[in-house]
Amino acid sequence: MIPYPRMSPVIFKAGPFAVRWYGVMYILGFVASYLLFQYQVRKRHISGITAEVVENLYFWLIMALVIGARVGYVIFYNLPYYMENPLRVFAVWQGGMSFHGGLVGLIAGGVLFCRKYKLDFWKIADLVAATVPPGLGFGRIGNFINGELYGRPSNVPWAMVFPAGGDVPRHPSQLYEFFLEGVVLFAALWFLKDRLKRSGMLVAAFLILYGVFRFGVEFLRQPDPQLGFIIGPFTMGQVLSSAMIVAGLGLFFWRRRKSS
């Protein structure tokens, strides 16, 4: 067993104002995505995408992601509670963000933005998709520092006792997700981005690979206590990730028939 490296989730606090590691990880993810997006635009010499357009795009995407992630958590993971306490929906500082909800928000925000600026949605979406994994990885590090979203009980040599998980050693599932969703997914998409010639296919690859990684790790991650298992041995995360895989496969074969 490896001791859990206890770290305060708060970096520093001044009165009611607190800077938390999880919020910093979100910022690092957005900055990494922004810089990688700009790098791709410069390398490919894409016309019509100015610095101002990129800044506006990321403003839209950040807002859409935060709103989607919060709404997704409310709907998918704790709807009865928020129906009884509707004002708590706005208490985002208390936690509760859903990746799958954030993904829906990103897609919706991207579609609206591309319509407004008359840009090719699939080409923009491919550029963004290649930049998402670092943010996912940073987010999982934030989960690990918070001691949340830990794994199921285990006796593997690297199991840890998390403060909120009782005295039972558990899988550090946040670190598994950091490696798969952050490192491996980024390497795979960065390798494929110049090899998948039809627009939209990199988005499909993202949906499929993330869905597979998340589905697998969920077998080692402790189910959300308010939900437990949804269908047989499967969690809400696995149900939503299955939908991602199906959507990704459908998108892949549809875009493969399209001209680039």
| Cα distance between residue 180 and residue 198, in whole Å | 25
pLDDT at res. 259: 55
Domain spans of the chain, in order of start: 10-256
Helix (H) or strand (E) holding 111: helix 99-117
Please list the alpha-helical segments (H only) found in the chain: 21-44, 51-77, 79-84, 99-117, 121-129, 132-146, 173-177, 185-192, 201-217, 236-256
pLDDT < 70 positions in the chain: 93-94, 259-260
pLDDT of 25: 94
Give the tens place of pLDDT for each residue, 200-221.
999 999 999 999 999 999 999 9
- What's the first-to-final CA gap in the chain, in angstroms? 51
Q: What is the pLDDT of residue 9?
A: 87
Q: What is the pLDDT of residue 47?
A: 74
pLDDT at 129: 97
Q: What percent of the chain has pLDDT over 70?
A: 98
Q: pTM of the prediction?
A: 0.92
